[in-house]
Amino acid sequence: MNKILTKEEAKKIIDKVLAFSKADEMSVALNGGRTGNIRYARNSVSTSGESYDQSLAVTAVFGKRSGTATINEFDDASLEKTVRRAEEIARLAPENPEYMPMLGPQTYIEAPTFADSTANIDPDYRAKAAFDSIDPCSKKGLTAAGYMEDSAGYSAMGNSKGLFGFNKSTSVDFSITVRTADGLGSGYAIRDFNDVSKLSTKQATEIAMQKALASSTAKALEPGKYTVILEPAASIDLLQNMMRSMDARNADEGRSFLSKKGGGTRLGEKLFDERVNIYSDPSNIEIPTSGFGGGGGGRMGGGGSDGRPQEKISWIENGVVKNVYYSRFWADKKGVKGVPPPSGFIMAGGTESLADLIKGTEKGILVTRMWYIRAVDPQTLLYTGLTRDGTFYIEKGQIKFPVKNFRFNESPIIMLNNLEAMGVPTRIGGCLVPPLKIRDFTFSSLSDAV
Amino acid sequence: MKRRDFIQLSGMGLGAMMGSSIPVLGNMVSAEHLLEPGADIATKKRLADIALNATKSRGATYTDVRIGRYLQQFVFTRETKVQNITNAESYGVGIRVIANGTWGFAATSDVTPEGIAKCAETAVAIAKANAKIQKEPVILAPQKGVGEIVWKTPIVKNAFEVPIKEKIDLLMNVNGEAMKNGAGFVTSNLFFVNEQKYFASSDGSYIDQDVHRIWPTFTVTAVDKAAGKFKTRDAISSPMGMGYEYLDGLASEKISAPNGLIGYRNSYDMVEDAIMASKQAQQKLTAKTVPAGKYDLVLDPNHLGLTIHESVGHPTELDRVLGYEANYAGTSFATLDKWKTKAFNYGSKHVNIVADKTQPYTLGTVGYDDEGVPCKEWDLIKDGILVNYQATRDQVNILGENASHGCCYADNWNSVQFQRMPNVSLKAGKDKLSVFDMIKGVEKGIYIIGRGSYSIDQQRYNFQFGGQLFYEIKNGELVGMLDDVAYQSNTQEFWNSCVQICDKDDYRTFGSFFDGKGQPSQVSAVSHGSATTRFNGVNVINTGRKI
C-alpha cells in the first residue's frame, strides 16, 4: 500500500481493530508514510534510498495490565490476529500500578503540517538537491559532505472510549559541511522545514562555503570567559536539553535542576533574565506540529502519545518558570491538570539580524555550531561540548579573524541569565530560536579540530 | 531507509546510555514468538540464490544478500514497578550489488521468491542510476567464497528462553536491595539481542550466524532534599556477547580492588553491585569537591573502555579518515600521512592497541562480518606507533592491503552495511602488577571507576571525561571520595602520558551497546578490553556550579 491514508480510511481501519477487542480498554496507533534520503561526501553521492512503511500498534488493557502488538499488514485476518496477540501479552503482563484509564474524545488543533511540495519529492529531486550543493563546491575546489532526508506520512490514533485523532505531515531536513582542500577550513549550515519549497540547498551550501573559506587561518585564543554570539545551530541543543529537563515528577522527587533546597520545586521562581520567554504552540505557522504529537514534528520526544491535546503553553515567561510537564499519572497524583511535554518550542527574540548583533559587539566570539554536547551535572544542567565549523573573533562590530575551536562547560540556566541581546528567531530542529548574545560564556580549553 | 520507533528515556535514569533514546526495530510481538524458529537454512539458501541469479543476469559484478531476523527483548523497571517490556522482531532481506562499478542497495520485508527478485532488480537499477554521477569506482578486495558455514555466539543459556518472570524477579530484587540500602530511586533494565543472519554472496559464501548479546544495567539515585542535592551511580556491568549466564555472578570472575570495590570480568552480580551503588551514591552526596589541577590518573577498565572507544576506536575508522563522515560524526586527526611515516607516536611505548573480532564474550565477535569476511585480530597501535586502521572490502586497497579487515556491519536487514568499529582493546601489561601495587606508587592522583560524561571533538583531539566514582590518592593511599571531577586532555598527549598498565589478571572488557554512526543513523555494539592503567599529569577540572 504505497499511499498516505485519508482520515476516513485510517478511521475505518482503527474502528475495525476496536471491533475485534475483548479487552477492558483498547487503543490503536496507526502510522505510515514515505521517507527518502540522499547522502554525499567527497563531492560524490555515497548512499540514497526511499522506502514506504506502515505500522499499526494495538494496546490491549485488562485492569492495570497492558500489552502491545504491532503489524504492518492491514487485512482483516492480520488485524484480528494482532488484537488477540496484544490481549495475550496484556494478560501475561505484570500490573502497572501507575496505569491511567484511557481518555475519551478530545479536540485537537489542526495545523498546516503537510505540504504537497515535500510529499512530491522523488529521487530526481533529491539528486538535483545534492547536485546544487556539490557543484558550487567542486567548482571552488572545496569538498562537500551533506545529507537530505524527507518524509511524508500520516499518524492516527483511536481508542475504545471514542478518542480519535488524525494528522498528516511532511518534513525535510538538510545539513551541509564544506571543507577546504587543505583541511584547515570547515563551514556548516542546517535547515529544516515542513515545506521543501522553502529549502534552497544551494543557498545553504553557499553559507557553509563562505564559512569554510573564512575559517581556514584560525588563530588560537586563550580559553576563558567570553561574550559569544550563538547562532541558533549553536544554542539549540543546550535549549532543547533544558526543555527536556522540565519534568514535574523529577522536580518533585528532588532530582532535577528545578528541585528546591528543603523540598518542593522552583516552579514560579525567576530563574532567568527577564527577557527570556519560551512557549510552545502547535499552530505556529513556522513550526506547525500535530495536535496530539503524532505524524512528524515531535522532535522533543514529547507530544500526546497518551492522547492529550497539544496546546499553546508558556514554559518560561519574563524569566519565570511558568509550567512544567506531567505524565497523566503524576498529574493525577498531584491533583493538577498537568500538561504534556511539547513537540517543539519557540524562544521569543528581538528584531535585530545576526549581522546587527555582530555590529553591536565590542569584543566577542561568533559560534556557528556546537558539537558532542553531553551532560556533566544534571543538578546544575552543566553541559560540555565544542564549537565547530566556523568560530570567529569579533572586535568593534566586525569579524576580525577565525579562531580555533573551544571546549565549553556551561549551563543553559547560567547562559540565559547572562543574556545581552537576542535577534530574530529562525527555525532550527523543529523549534524557533533567536541568535543569542551571551556574556561570560565559559570556554575551558582549546581544540585543534577543524 | 526505514522508519524506526524509539523508546524515549528522558527521566528514566539511563545515564549510562550512549544516546538519549533506544532504537526498537520491527514489530512488537509476544515473548513466546521470539522463540519460534525462523526459516531453515535450505529455504534461505534457495531464496538467496534467487537474488544472486537475478542480479547477475542484470549485469551486477558482485552481489551479497542478507536474510536477517533481528530479535530484541528489553525490560525496564523503576523501584517496585515494571515500566515496559518490549519484544520485537524484524525480518527481511537486504541486497547489495556492484553494477557499473557502483554500489546499489535495496531491501524488502517481502521474503518470497517474487519479493526477492523484485528487490534484486531495484538494487541493480539504483547502482546503475548512481553510476552516472560516480567519481570513484568501487575497488573491492577479493574474498574467496567459504561455502556453507554455520557460526553461533558460544552462549550457555539463551536469554530469550529465560521466562520474563525470572527477569522481573531479578530486577525487583536489584531495586529492593538498592532501596533497602538507602537509595531514593532506582531504575533497572535488561537488554537482550539476537541477530539470526544469513549471508550469501556471489563469491560463493553461504554463512548462517546466530549472534547473541546481553546488557544488564541500572541507575541508583540518592537524594538529600534538605540540601537540595542528588547524586547517581550507574551499574558497573558491561554489555557482553554472552547469554543469560553473564548474570550468574560467579565469584571466580570477580576482581578485588581497593576500598572493598569489586570489578566484574565475564560474570556479573547485579544485586551485589546495586547494594554497593546505593551506598556509594549516598557517599557522593558529601564527597569533597575536587581542587582543579594536574593529577596522575588510575583508570579502571570499566571507565577506560569509553576513553579507548572515543580516542582510539573512532579516529582509526578509515571512512572517517577519508571524509565520508565529515557532515556528521566528523573526520580524524589520525590522517594517512601520519600513518605513512611509520613513526607517529599515538602513545607511549606501553600502548599496544589491537582491533579484534574474535575475542570470546565480546560484543564485536562474530565468525564473519556483513560482507562475508572471516574475522581476525590486528594491530592498530604497536609500541605506541600508529600502524593500521579499521577497513572494509572497498576501502582496504587505500592501505595497500588486499584482504579486508572484516569491519562491515549493518544493524538490520534494511540498513546498508558500512564500516563499523571492531573491538578495540588495550593490551594488558607484561609485568606482574595489580591495581593495589599501582596505587601504592602514586603520590597525587585520582582513581576513576565507571563511565560518566564524555565528549570529544569531531577530529578526536580534545576530550573531556567524567566517571561514576572518584577516589583521591595521596602518597600511595586512597584517602576518600571526590566529586565534581572531569579530566580534559588531547588524545596524543594523553596516550603518551601512559606509564603503567596492570597485568592480564586485571584485564576486563567494557562495552557500548548502542553506538551510533551514519546518516541515517545505525547502531552497533562493541567491546573494549583493558587492565587498570596509569596516566601521569592529566588536567582535572572542577565541574561544580551554582544555579
- What's A93's domain CATH number? 3.30.2290.10
Residues A264 and A137 placed together within one structural domain of the fold: no
Classify residue A180: in a domain, yes or no.
yes
CA torsion A235-A239-A240-A246 (nearest 10°) is 170
pLDDT of residue B5 exceeding 80, the answer is no
Nearest CA in chain B to A128: B133
pTM metric for this prediction: 0.95
pLDDT of residue B132 exceeding 60, the answer is yes
pLDDT of residue B262 exceeding 80, the answer is yes
8 Å CB contact of B464 and A98: no
A450 interaction partners in chain B (CB closer than 8 Å): 459
A255 interaction partners in chain B (CB closer than 8 Å): 184-185, 221, 223, 230
Nearest CA in chain B to A43: B135
State which residues form the domain around A14: 7-212
pLDDT tens sequence across B457-513: 999 999 999 999 999 999 999 999 999 999 999 999 999 999 999 999 999 999 999
Could you tell me where the DSSP H helices lie in A156-267? 201-214, 232-244, 248-252
Please check whether residue B30 touches A, CB under 8 A. Answer: yes
Give the burial class of B155: count Cβ atoms within 10 A of its Cβ; 0-12 exposed, 13-18 middle, 19 or more buried. Answer: buried
8 Å CB contact of B457 and A147: no
Q: In whole angstroms, what is the distance from residue A379 CA to residue A261 CA? A: 12
In a mutational test of the A interface, the residue from B1, B171, B229, B282 whose CB has the highest number of chain A CBs within 10 Å is: B1
How many contacts, defined by CB atoms under 8 Å, are there between A and B?
234
Q: Yes or no: say if A413 and B547 are a contact pair by the CB < 8 Å rule.
A: yes
Q: In whole angstroms, what is the distance from residue B522 CA to residue A47 CA? A: 14
A46 interaction partners in chain B (CB closer than 8 Å): 324
Classify residue A1: in a domain, yes or no.
no
B323 interaction partners in chain A (CB closer than 8 Å): 41-42, 143, 145, 179
Measured N-to-C along each axis, helices B113-131 and B41-57 cross at an angle, to the nearest 10 degrees, of: 40
A41 interaction partners in chain B (CB closer than 8 Å): 323-327
Classify residue A255: in a domain, yes or no.
yes
List strand residue ranges (DSSP E) for A88-185, in order: 143-159, 164-179
Residue B243 phi/psi, 5-degree rounding, is: -95, -160
In a mutational test of the B interface, the residue from A409, A443, A446 whose CB has the highest number of chain B CBs within 10 Å is: A409
Classify residue A329: in a domain, yes or no.
yes
Q: Among A177, A192, A212, identify where a domain stops.
A: A212
pLDDT at A73: 86
> Quick one: how far is CA B75 from the chain centroid?
20
B11 interaction partners in chain A (CB closer than 8 Å): 247, 249-250
In a mutational test of the A interface, the residue from B12, B72, B85, B458 whose CB has the highest number of chain A CBs within 10 Å is: B458
Q: Yes or no: say if B392 and B409 are a contact pair by the CB < 8 Å rule.
A: no
pLDDT of residue B15 exceeding 60, the answer is no
Q: In whole angstroms, what is the distance from residue A305 CA to residue A167 CA? A: 13
Q: In whole angstroms, what is the distance from residue A37 CA to residue A24 CA? A: 42
| Sequence-separated (6 or more) residues with CB below 8 Å from residue B19 | B514, B516
Q: How far is B162 from chain A (nearest CA, A)?
A: 15
Residues A237 and A91 placed together within one structural domain of the fold: no
pLDDT at A280: 96
pLDDT at B131: 86
8 Å CB contact of A55 and B184: no
Q: Among A184, A212, A240, identify where a domain stops.
A: A212
Residues A157 and A17 placed together within one structural domain of the fold: yes
8 Å CB contact of A386 and B134: no
8 Å CB contact of A384 and B486: yes
pLDDT at A34: 86
Residues A106 and A16 placed together within one structural domain of the fold: yes
Residue B74 phi/psi, 5-degree rounding, is: -120, 135
Q: How far is A254 from chain B (nearest CA, A)?
A: 6
pLDDT tens for chain A, 450 residues long, are: 457 899 999 999 999 999 999 999 999 999 888 888 999 999 998 888 787 778 899 999 999 999 999 998 899 999 999 999 999 999 999 999 999 999 999 999 999 999 999 999 998 899 999 999 999 999 999 999 999 999 999 999 999 999 999 999 999 999 999 999 999 999 999 999 999 999 999 999 999 999 999 999 999 999 999 999 999 999 999 999 999 999 999 999 999 999 999 999 999 999 999 999 999 999 999 999 989 875 433 333 333 468 899 999 999 999 999 999 999 999 999 999 999 998 899 999 999 999 999 999 999 999 999 999 999 999 999 999 999 999 999 999 999 999 999 999 999 999 999 999 999 999 999 999 999 999 999 999 999 999
Residues A143 and A243 placed together within one structural domain of the fold: no
Residues A263 and A150 placed together within one structural domain of the fold: no
| Sequence-separated (6 or more) residues with CB below 8 Å from residue A14 | A28, A30, A156, A157, A158, A164
Q: How far is B233 from chain A (nearest CA, A)?
A: 13
Classify residue A153: in a domain, yes or no.
yes
Residue type, B154: P
Q: In whole angstroms, what is the distance from residue B123 CA to residue B101 CA? A: 13
Three cell numbers, residue B427: 593490551
Residue B441 phi/psi, 5-degree rounding, is: -90, 0
pLDDT tens sequence across B508-540: 999 999 999 999 889 999 999 999 999 999 999
Please check whether residue A39 touches B, CB under 8 A. Answer: yes
pLDDT at A343: 86
Q: In whole angstroms, what is the distance from residue B259 CA to residue B257 CA? A: 7
8 Å CB contact of A254 and B184: yes
Q: Yes or no: say if A250 and A373 are a contact pair by the CB < 8 Å rule.
A: no
pLDDT at B10: 33
Classify residue A2: in a domain, yes or no.
no
Please check whether residue A100 touches B, CB under 8 A. Answer: no
Residues in chain A: 450
- The A residues from 193 to 252 touching B (CB cutoff 8 Å) are 244-245, 247, 249-250
Q: Yes or no: say if B205 and B146 are a contact pair by the CB < 8 Å rule.
A: yes
Q: In whole angstroms, what is the distance from residue A312 CA to residue A109 CA? A: 10
Residues A267 and A402 placed together within one structural domain of the fold: yes
Buried residues in A13-45 as b, exposed as e (16+ CB within 10 A): bbeebbebbebbbbbbbbbbbbbbbbbbbbbbb
Q: Yes or no: say if A64 and A95 are a contact pair by the CB < 8 Å rule.
A: yes
User: For A351-365, B115-129, B175-189, which range has the lowest pLDDT when averaged over its residues?
Assistant: B115-129
Residues A205 and A281 placed together within one structural domain of the fold: no
- Total structural domains within chain A: 2
Classify residue A226: in a domain, yes or no.
yes
Q: How far is A78 from chain B (nearest CA, A)?
A: 13
8 Å CB contact of B184 and A253: yes
Q: Which DSSP letter does residue B317 get?
A: B
Nearest CA in chain A to B86: A68
Average pLDDT over residues B196-223: 98
- The A residues from 346 to 365 touching B (CB cutoff 8 Å) are none
Residues A248 and A148 placed together within one structural domain of the fold: no
A70 interaction partners in chain B (CB closer than 8 Å): 27-29
Classify residue A68: in a domain, yes or no.
yes
Q: Among A212, A236, A267, identify where a domain stops.
A: A212
8 Å CB contact of B416 and A175: no
In a mutational test of the A interface, the residue from B133, B187, B325, B547 whose CB has the highest number of chain A CBs within 10 Å is: B547
List strand residue ranges (DSSP E) for B387-532, in order: 408-409, 418-419, 423-426, 444-449, 454-456, 462-465, 469-474, 477-483, 485-490, 498-501, 508-517, 522-530
Q: In whole angstroms, what is the distance from residue B329 CA to residue B524 CA? A: 15
Residues A228 and A111 placed together within one structural domain of the fold: no
pLDDT at B22: 64
Q: Report angle CA A117, A118, A123 to the nearest 5 degrees.
A: 105
Residue B70's SS3 state is strand
Residues A183 and A170 placed together within one structural domain of the fold: yes
In this complex, the residue of B3, B135, B322 whose CB is nearest that of residue A43 is B135
Please check whether residue A368 touches B, CB under 8 A. Answer: no
Q: How far is B210 from chain A (nearest CA, A)?
A: 24
8 Å CB contact of A384 and B453: yes
Residues A174 and A279 placed together within one structural domain of the fold: no
Complex ipTM above 0.90? Answer: yes
pLDDT at A104: 95
